[in-house]
Amino acid sequence: MNRIFARWSFLAACLLAMVVVSGCSSSTAPESADNKAESTTGKVSATEELPPKSPEASFDPPVFEADAEKLLASRLPIERTEQGWIRLFDGHTLFGWAIGGKANFRVEDEAIVADQGENCLLTTSTLWSDYELELQFQCDEETNSGVFVRTTLDPQDVKTDCYEVNIAPESNPFPTGGVVQRDKGETFDTDPEKWHTMNVLCDGATLRVTIDGTVTCELDDATQPTAGYIGLQHRTGRVAFKNIQLRPLGLTNLLADGLEGWTVREGMEGEYRINDEGQLVVDGGKQQLESNAVYGDFVMLAEYKMDDPKSNSGLFFRAIPGDEMMGYECQVSNELIDGNPLQPADCGAGGIFRRQDARVVAGEPERWNSILLVAEGSHFATWVNGLQVTDVVDTREADENPRRGLRLEPGSIIVQGHDKTTLATYRQIAVTKAAAEGGE
């Protein structure tokens, strides 16, 4: 099964963003100029009503519409994102998801719903290893569905290809809350009129399932597989999922000891300093602060603040060690064009420079913002303040220099000072522990 990505077209006149999920297309954006961004806030709305069944199933690639206000309202508060929490589902589109078969997965009332079609998965386009997953689900009495973790795109054997947390009647050999072919667990009785909260912890060899505060199953031998996608299953009956959030585990703050483990490139303008709160300040001029360790595939969580809407910084990764900013760049910029969050002035916060602009500028001046970046092989995905803004595959030919082609080799992380207007503060740049491949 091929990976499916969203394509976005920005209609500035009406602030309308349309996502088309279509087979086997990687989403890339044209090269952008160097500039910046700003946005608005909002609150997530939740509905408790049971969505109506679709009168007739459609298995065509779904099309979604969401304006900037709706997307930005799905951001999470900084108190949650500073812990690493993100939304896997924005409540309006299936950006960042792939439909693996002919089932009528759709979005209704800020929930993902399916009730007809073949047995298949809707999966994230991003791989995850150790994390805490939290979501709400609602199902009919005879529904047979499940939440797949550490799964392949099309699992053939639940004993080796994934872990399936079942959603099924008590008569099923593995009723709701059990892990199929692993552990029946404690039976949990679902109510078709209610939304139930499921929490799945994947932490090394530990896999624990909790529903509505009750632990239903716990494994201590979850060693195969150790990483994979997250999948929502349609098998039989109606199922709905909403408020799907994830927090990666095992992050270490690279700024915990100030500038230890980092090197300031000589002969460049501006300065890097640690303030009284232990935060990194990037002050004026083109400059780079480079990690001594190198990283290949990893998860990074960064928190930044820039008061000036035109201030510009960046986080380079897989950079050529010792060279001048020769790496992929995760943009740190809040500037908008004509005040439109759907039109970043310079790629947008979380955009992968010259690979894909942020679909919406979700960072703001004069506040703390978070960026979560996942780099896995040729695939990169980013979330800003909990909202996914990029999902891109680098399809270029391999090259040592990421400016010219695909780089899979580990490289350094660089905190960029862009120009004399740059004044940025970082209070966290955390990376998964297992990612480091050298340095001090």
Hey, where are the domains in the chain?
A: 45-248, 252-435
Residue 47 confidence (pLDDT) above 50? no
- Asked if 381 and 372 count as a contact pair (C-beta separation under 8 A), the reply is no
Residue 5 confidence (pLDDT) above 90? no
22-26, 247-251, 317-321, 434-438: which has the minimum mean pLDDT?
Answer: 22-26
Dump the DSSP string for 31-98. Answer: ---S--B-----------SPPPPPSS---SPPEEEEEHHHHHHTPPPHHHHTTT-EESS-SS--TTEE
Q: CA 68 → CA 72, 96, 241, 364, 428, distances in Å?
A: 6, 17, 23, 14, 27
- Beta-bridge mates of residue 201: 132, 208
45-248 and 252-435 agree in CATH topology? yes
pLDDT category at 31 given cuts 50, 70, 90 is very low
Domain 252-435 has CATH 2.60.120.560: yes
pLDDT category at 58 given cuts 50, 70, 90 is low
Mean pLDDT of the chain: 87
Cα(339)–Cα(336) distance, integer angstroms? 5
Cα(29)–Cα(353) distance, integer angstroms? 9
Average pLDDT in the 40-49 region? 30
SS3 335: strand
Q: Which residue has the higher pLDDT, 429 or 28?
A: 429
10 Å Cβ neighbour count for 205?
12
- Beta-bridge mates of residue 279: none
pLDDT category at 393 given cuts 50, 70, 90 is very high
Closest-CA residue to 246 (of 118, 387, 107, 389): 387
- Beta-bridge mates of residue 20: 7, 63
Q: What is the pTM of this model?
A: 0.86
Residue 91 confidence (pLDDT) above 60? yes
pLDDT of the residue at 56: 61
Buried b (16+ CB within 10 A) or exposed e, 377-389: eebbbbbbbbbbb
Q: How many helices (H) and strands (E) does the chain have?
A: 2, 31
Residue 119 confidence (pLDDT) above 60? yes
Percent of the chain with pLDDT over 90: 80
- Asked if 177 and 216 count as a contact pair (C-beta separation under 8 A), the reply is yes
Q: 387-393 and 120-124: which strand pairing?
A: unpaired
- Beta-bridge mates of residue 133: 200, 246
Look at the domain 45-248 and name its fold.
Answer: Jelly Rolls (2.60.120)
- Beta-bridge mates of residue 280: 274, 426
